[in-house]
Structure 1
Amino acid sequence: MSELPEMIHAGRIIPLYPSGEVLKSEGLDSRGFRKILYSALEKLKGKIPEILPNEIVKRRGLILREESYREIHFPTDENSLDTAKYRLKYEELFYFNLLIEHKKKEREKIKRVLWPLPESETANKVRKNLPFQLTEDQNSALQKIKELTNKEQPIAVLLQGDVGSGKTLVALLTALRYIDNQIQVCMVAPTEILARQHYQTILSFLGNMPFLGIELLVGKEPKKNRYEKLYRIKKGDTLFVIGTHSVFQEDVYFSELGLVIIDEQHKFGVDQRETLRSKGKNPDILAMTATPIPRTLCLTLYGDLDLLTIKSKPKGRMPIQTKWFQEDRREGIYKSIRKYVSSGRQCYIVYPLVEESEKVDLKSCIEAYEYLKHEIFPDFEVGLVHGKMEVEEKDRVMREFSKNRIQILVSTTVIEVGIDVPNSTVMVIEHADRFGISQLHQLRGRVGRGDQESFCILMTDSKVTEDAKVRLEAMVNFSDGFALSEIDLQLRGPGELMGVRQSGLPDFKIADLRKDSNLIELTREDATLFGNPGDLEKEEIRGRFSEGRLLFSN
Structure 2
Amino acid sequence: MILPLQYVKGVGPKRAEALANEGVVTARDVLLRVPRAYIDRSAAPSIAVLYNRLRSPDLWKGDALSITAVSTDVSLVATVTSAPERTVGRARKMFTATVSDGSGASAQLIFWNAINYFSRIIKVGDTVAISGIPEYDPRWNQLTFTHPEVERVDEEDIERYRQGAILAKYPMTQALRNAGITMRLMRHIVEHVIDDAIADERDVLPPDIIQRHDLMERRAALRELHLPTSIKSIDRARARLKFEELFFFQLFLAARSRSRKRPDRGLSLDPRSPRARALVEQLPFELTTAQRRVIHEIIHDMSSGAPMNRLLQGDVGSGKTIVAMLCMLNAIDNGYQAVLMAPTEILAEQHFRTISKWLEGTGVVVDQLVGGQRSKARKEVASRIAAGESHIIVGTHALFEAEVQYHKLGLIVIDEQHRFGVAQRAELKRLGRLSHEDDPRNPHILVMSATPIPRTLSMTLYGDLDVSVIDELPKDRTPIRTRVVFESGLTQVYDFIRDEIAKGRQAYIVYPLVEKSEKLELKSAVEHHEFLASSVFPDLRIGLLHGQMLWYEKEDAMKAFLNKEFDVLVSTTVIEVGVDVPNATVMLIENAERFGLSQLHQLRGRVGRSGHQSYCFLATKDHFRFQMSRANSAEERAKAAVRLKTMEETTDGFRIAEVDLKLRGPGDLMGTRQSGVPEFMFADLVTDGPVITQARAEAFALLEHDPTLRAPEHQALRERLVDDATSSGFLTVA
Normalised to the residue count of structure 1, the TM-score between the two structures is 0.94
**Partner in structure 2 of residue 140 of structure 1:** 293
Distance, in Å, in 2 between the alignment partners of 1:134 and 1:42 is: 64
1:472-504 deviation digits (Å, cap 9, x = unpaired): 000000110000100000000000100111001
1:322-343 deviation digits (Å, cap 9, x = unpaired): 0000100111111111111011
Deviation at 1:549, TM superposition (A): 5.2
Aligned match for 1:541, one of 683, 708, 721: 721
Aligned 8 A contact 2:514 2:525 in 1 = no
**Mapped pair 1:343 → 2:495:** no
**Partner in structure 1 of residue 395 of structure 2:** 243
Structure 1 stretch 364-373 or stretch 163-172: which is displaced more?
364-373
Over 3 Å counting, the alpha-carbon distance change for 1:356 and 1:243 in structure 2 is farther
Aligned residues: 550
Over 3 Å counting, the alpha-carbon distance change for 1:512 and 1:379 in structure 2 is same
**Partner in structure 1 of residue 227 of structure 2:** 74
**Mapped pair 1:184 → 2:317:** no
Aligned 8 A contact 2:522 2:591 in 1 = no
Alignment of 1:150-161 (within 5 A): 150-161=303-314
Over 3 Å counting, the alpha-carbon distance change for 1:145 and 1:391 in structure 2 is same
**Partner in structure 2 of residue 373 of structure 1:** 533
**Mapped pair 1:221 → 2:373:** yes
1:150-193 deviation digits (Å, cap 9, x = unpaired): 21101111000011000000000110111223311111111111
**Partner in structure 2 of residue 511 of structure 1:** 683
Over 3 Å counting, the alpha-carbon distance change for 1:221 and 1:544 in structure 2 is same
1:449-484 deviation digits (Å, cap 9, x = unpaired): 111111000011124411101100000001100001
Secondary structure of 1:261's aligned partner: strand
Deviation at 1:287, TM superposition (A): 0.5
Aligned 8 A contact 1:317 1:448 in 2 = yes
Aligned 8 A contact 1:507 1:545 in 2 = no
Aligned match for 2:217, one of 64, 87, 93: 64
Distance, in Å, in 1 between the alignment partners of 2:317 and 2:262 is: 36
Secondary structure of 1:474's aligned partner: helix
Aligned 8 A contact 1:99 1:548 in 2 = no
Aligned 8 A contact 1:198 1:418 in 2 = no
Deviation at 1:367, TM superposition (A): 1.3
Aligned 8 A contact 2:269 2:305 in 1 = no
Over 3 Å counting, the alpha-carbon distance change for 1:477 and 1:113 in structure 2 is closer
Deviation at 1:408, TM superposition (A): 0.7
Deviation at 1:543, TM superposition (A): 4.2
Aligned 8 A contact 1:116 1:183 in 2 = no
Secondary structure of 1:260's aligned partner: strand
Deviation at 1:520, TM superposition (A): 0.3
**Partner in structure 2 of residue 307 of structure 1:** 467
Q: Which amino acid aligns with 1:540?
A: R
Aligned 8 A contact 1:9 1:31 in 2 = no
Q: Which runs of 5+ in 2 are unaligned?
A: 1-7, 11-154, 434-441, 625-636
Normalised to the residue count of structure 2, the TM-score between the two structures is 0.72
Deviation at 1:211, TM superposition (A): 4.1
**Partner in structure 2 of residue 400 of structure 1:** 560
1:399-449 deviation digits (Å, cap 9, x = unpaired): 221121211111111111242111110000111111100010011011111
**Mapped pair 1:451 → 2:611:** yes
Structure 1 stretch 27-36 or stretch 362-371: which is displaced more?
362-371
Secondary structure of 1:15's aligned partner: strand
Distance, in Å, in 1 between the alignment partners of 2:607 and 2:574 is: 15
Distance, in Å, in 1 between the alignment partners of 2:514 and 2:463 is: 32
**Mapped pair 1:298 → 2:450:** no
**Partner in structure 2 of residue 51 of structure 1:** 204
Q: Which amino acid aligns with 2:689?
A: S
Aligned 8 A contact 2:270 2:303 in 1 = no
Distance, in Å, in 2 between the alignment partners of 1:440 and 1:269 is: 23
Aligned 8 A contact 2:331 2:411 in 1 = yes
Secondary structure of 1:491's aligned partner: helix
**Partner in structure 1 of residue 409 of structure 2:** 257
Distance, in Å, in 2 between the alignment partners of 1:21 and 1:130 is: 65
Structure 1 stretch 287-296 or stretch 413-422: which is displaced more?
413-422
Distance, in Å, in 2 between the alignment partners of 1:259 and 1:529 is: 29
**Partner in structure 1 of residue 485 of structure 2:** 325
Secondary structure of 2:508's aligned partner: strand
Greater share of helix = 1
Deviation at 1:519, TM superposition (A): 0.5
Q: Which amino acid aligns with 1:158?
A: L
Aligned 8 A contact 1:190 1:244 in 2 = yes
Aligned match for 2:279, one of 121, 126, 133: 126
Q: Which runs of 5+ in 1 are unaligned?
A: none
Q: Which amino acid aligns with 2:262?
A: K
Over the matched positions of the two proteins, sequence identity in percent amounts to: 44
Over 3 Å counting, the alpha-carbon distance change for 1:266 and 1:210 in structure 2 is same
